Every structure is written in structure tokens, then in C-alpha cells.
């Protein structure tokens, strides 16, 4: 496969809104690959409404509000690809391995998910095959195609979190998360003084101990590519203007961090950690 053919498998996914994964700008010149596992609140018809109440149907439990908009803004600014799930995290959480209970949670924070109770193995397998595998395969194919072409991908995964969790208010506004490979997170945190009005914290409001670094481990560390997970408080993503402002703030940290990473050597691989429970 020549480099010019390397993105051919994505042509279908770019345009098909019924596909479980969205791949935007696969041919982008930038080396970053933006992931958005919790981009969508869509629950495919075959799963009904999972037994959710109307009030919970669009809550942060179902998706990460604003995360796709920030992901897309970053991808546009960096001329790089974005890969986003088109299915709700409550059907399958693409940032969890299939063996993690939180991959198809029957309870998330204070919300019950009746449609996920007593799932048998066949039902679990169907969701793995129809939601998780296509997402992972899209990411893997893009990374492999770029590495094959001698390029050095960098992984940035974008999430949002609720300002109040289990009744506790969170002060952190931007979380910079990492697992064993902290190169990109360290470089971004070194730039935090450029946003003095923001509360920016390392591995907050979640960290690797919460099982939220599955994508970083699987697609970043195992491939030896620099990676970071961004968590943005969702009250700061209330409308399109706010989403764009936040994307620009993230770029204030990310652009100089990427510049400093260019000469970095690949990280060693690390074993995957079992996914835990959180709303990350
Ligand atoms: Zn998330």
C-alpha cells in the first residue's frame, strides 16, 4: 500500500452517518490524531432507550457534551484527523476494554441503566463487535498507515466532565491526564501559566487508577506514540462560542507542547490496566 492509498479504508466512514464511528480528515497533514470516544448521545434503535428516563436521556452520563465540538475544532486548527464514536457510551464505552464492567454499565454515577442489567454474553459480544471494534480498528488503521509512511502520530483524546459529581463541586476546569507515558501531558502542563485564569490539573478529576486511560494505553503506549487525555468541565462548553474558545485555550497549551515533542524518542510499551468505574 502506498502512502497515497493509506487512507482509502476511511472513505466510507467519512460520509456514512449510520456507521458506528466517524473519521474526519483522515488525510490531514498534521501528526495529531484526535479521539473522541464519548462524542455522541445516539442510542441505536435496536437497543431501545436502555430504560433511561427522559431527563437522563441527554445527560452527561450518556455522552460528553461539547467534547466532539472541541475535538473537531482542534482537528481543523491542526489539519489533523478526528475519530469519534457515533454511539452513546452507555451502549458501549469505547474508552473501556470489553472485560471492564464499566464498558456497558448498569449504573453510572446516580443513574440506573436498566437496559444494561443482566446482559448475556451474546448481547455483550454484539456491542463489542458493532461499536467498540469498529472504533478501535479505525484508530489502529490510521496509526499504522501513518507509521508505515514514516510519520510520527501523536494521540490526543478529548472528554468533558460534569461540574458536580456525586454531589461534590469540582474546581478543576481542564484536566491533563496520562498513564505511564507522560511526555505530552508534562509538556502541556509546563505551558499552564499561559492560561492564568484556568484551573488546570494533572490526572484530575480522574486518573489512571479510575480506568480512564484505556485508549491511551491501547493506541498510544502500545504503539510507542506520545499521548494525552484532556478532560474539560462541561459548564465551560455551554454553547458553540464557548466550545471554540476552549479549543483555542487547549491549543495554547498543545501547540508548544507538540513542538517540544518532535525530537522525543518513542516510549516503551506498557501492559494494559483493567477499566474501572467513573464518568470519564
Ligand atoms: Zn469522557
| Cβ-based neighbour number of residue 243 at 10 Å | 23
Residue length, the chain? Answer: 280
- C-alpha to C-alpha distances, 94 to 99, 101, 130, 137, nearest whole angstrom: 12, 13, 11, 11
128: three-class secondary structure by DSSP:
helix
Cell 505530552 sits at which residue?
184
What pLDDT digit, counting tens, does each position of 101-128 carry?
999 999 887 788 999 998 999 999 999 9
Centroid of ligand 1 to alpha carbon of 171 (angstroms): 18
Rounded to the nearest angstrom, the distance between the alpha carbon of 88 and the centre of ligand 1 is 11
H-helix segments, the chain: 11-15, 54-57, 67-78, 121-127, 133-148, 183-189, 214-215, 240-261
The rounded Å distance from CA 16 to ligand 1 centre is 23
Check: CB of residue 255 under 8 Å from CB of residue 194.
no
Name the CA radius of gyration of the chain, rounded. Answer: 18
Q: Is residue 205 reached through a cis peptide bond, with omega within 30 degrees of 0 on the bond before it?
A: yes
The 10s digit of each residue's pLDDT in 17-59 is: 679 999 999 999 999 999 999 999 999 999 999 999 888 888 8
d(CA 1, ligand 1 centre) in Å = 34
CA of 65 to the centre of ligand 1 (A): 9
Q: Which CATH superfamily is domain 3-261 in?
A: Zn-dependent exopeptidases (3.40.630.40)
pLDDT in tens, 198-218: 999 999 999 999 999 999 999
Amino acid at each position: 500500500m502506498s502512502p497515497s492509498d493509506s487512507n482509502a479504508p476511511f472513505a466510507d466512514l467519512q460520509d456514512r452517518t449510520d456507521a458506528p464511528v466517524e473519521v474526519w480528515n483522515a488525510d490531514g497533514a498534521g501528526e495529531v490524531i484526535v479521539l473522541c470516544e464519548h462524542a455522541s448521545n445516539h442510542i441505536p434503535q435496536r437497543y431501545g432507550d436502555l430504560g433511561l428516563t427522559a431527563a437522563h436521556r441527554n445527560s452527561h452520563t450518556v455522552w460528553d457534551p461539547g467534547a466532539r465540538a472541541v475535538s473537531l475544532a482542534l482537528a481543523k486548527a491542526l489539519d489533523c484527523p478526528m475519530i469519534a464514536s457515533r454511539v452513546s457510551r452507555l451502549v458501549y464505552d469505547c474508552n473501556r476494554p470489553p472485560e471492564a464492567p464499566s464498558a456497558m454499565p448498569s449504573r453510572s454515577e446516580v443513574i440506573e441503566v436498566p437496559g444494561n442489567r443482566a446482559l448475556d454474553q451474546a448481547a455483550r459480544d454484539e456491542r463489542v463487535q458493532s461499536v467498540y471494534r469498529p472504533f478501535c480498528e479505525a484508530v489502529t488503521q490510521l496509526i499504522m498507515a501513518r507509521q508505515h509512511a514514516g510519520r510520527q502520530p501523536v494521540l490526543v483524546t478529548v472528554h468533558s466532565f460534569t461540574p458536580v459529581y456525586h454531589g461534590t463541586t469540582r474546581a478543576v476546569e481542564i484536566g491533563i491526564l496520562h498513564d505511564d507515558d507522560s511526555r505530552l501531558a508534562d509538556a502541556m502542563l509546563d505551558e499552564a501559566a499561559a492560561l492564568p485564569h484556568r484551573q488546570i490539573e494533572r490526572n484530575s478529576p480522574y486518573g489512571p487508577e479510575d480506568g480512564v486511560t484505556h485508549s491511551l494505553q491501547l493506541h498510544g503506549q502500545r504503539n510507542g506514540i506520545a499521548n494525552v487525555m484532556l478532560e474539560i468541565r462541561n459548564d465551560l462548553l455551554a454553547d458553540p462560542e464557548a466550545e471554540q474558545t476552549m479549543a483555542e485555550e487547549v491549543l495554547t497549551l498543545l501547540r508548544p507542547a507538540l513542538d517540544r515533542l518532535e525530537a522525543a524518542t518513542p516510549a516503551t510499551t506498557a501492559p494494559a490496566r483493567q477499566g474501572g468505574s467513573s464518568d470519564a
